[in-house]
Structure 1
Amino acid sequence: MKRMFEAVIFGGAKLFWDYRHRNTGQYKGYYHWHQCCEILFVHEGTGHVIVNGETFPIRRGMLFFFRPYQLHHVYANVSPEQPYTRTIFHFDPQLVDEFLRPFSKRHGLFTALWHGRHPVQAFDLMASESSVERNFDDYHSAREEGKGEDGEEIAILILRLLDTIIRSDRNGFSRPLGIGGRKSAGYVQQAMRWIDEHYQEPFHLDDLADAMHLSKFYLSKLFHEETGSTLKEYVTAKRMRHACRLLETTTKSVEIIGSEVGIANPSYFVQVFKHEVGTTPLKYRTRFIQSADSRGKVRT
Structure 2
Amino acid sequence: MKRMFEPVAFRNTKLFWDYRLKNTENYQGYHHWHQCCEMLYVHEGAGRVVLDGETYPIRKGMLFFFRPYQLHHVFANVSKEQPYSRTIFFFDPHLMEEQLQPFAKRHALFKALWRGQNKVKAFDLSSYSESIERNYENYQSVRSQGMGEDVEEVAMLILRNLDCMLHSKTAPSEQIQLAEERKSIGYAQQAMKWIDEHYQDSFYLDDLAAAMHLSKFYLSKLFHGETGSTLKAYITAIRIRHACRLLETTTKSVEILGSEVGIPNTSYFVRVFKQEVGTTPLKYRTGSVFNTNKPTFYNMDLSL
TM-score (norm 1): 0.94
2:117 partner amino acid: R
- 2:168 matched residue in structure 1: 168
1:218 partner amino acid: Y
- 1:202 matched residue in structure 2: 202
Deviations 1:207-236 (A, max 9, x none): 111111111100000000111100000000
Contact 2:279 2:289 in 1 (8 A): no
The alpha-carbon deviation at position 179 of structure 1 amounts to 6.3
The alpha-carbon deviation at position 185 of structure 1 amounts to 1.1
- Where in structure 2 are the equivalents of 1:35-184 lying within 5 Å? 35-169=35-169, 174-176=171-173, 177-178=176-177, 181-182=180-181, 183-184=183-184
Distance in 2, Cα, partners of 1:215 & 1:180:
26
Contact 1:180 1:186 in 2 (8 A): no
1:278 partner amino acid: G
The alpha-carbon deviation at position 184 of structure 1 amounts to 3.5
Structure 1 unaligned blocks of 5 or more: none
4+ runs deviating over 3 angstroms: 178-184, 288-291, 293-300
Distance in 1, Cα, partners of 2:297 & 2:71:
23
Deviations 1:30-78 (A, max 9, x none): 0000000000000011100000100000001100000100000000111
Distance in 1, Cα, partners of 2:31 & 2:298:
29
- 1:229 matched residue in structure 2: 229
2:52 partner amino acid: N
2:122 partner amino acid: A
Q: Which moved more, 1:175-184 or 1:276-285?
A: 175-184
Q: Highest relative contact order (Cα 8 Å, sep 6+), 1 or 2?
A: 2
The Cα RMSD (Å) is 2.0
Distance in 2, Cα, partners of 1:298 & 1:19:
30
Structure 2 unaligned blocks of 5 or more: none
- Where in structure 2 are the equivalents of 1:210-249 lying within 5 Å? 210-249=210-249
Contact 1:56 1:179 in 2 (8 A): no
- 1:31 matched residue in structure 2: 31
2:33 partner amino acid: W
Distance in 1, Cα, partners of 2:257 & 2:161:
40
Deviations 1:13-33 (A, max 9, x none): 001000001111200000000
The structure-2 alpha-carbon separation of the partners of 1:210 and 1:40, relative to structure 1 and needing over 3 Å to count, comes to: same
Distance in 1, Cα, partners of 2:295 & 2:269:
30
TM-score (norm 2): 0.93
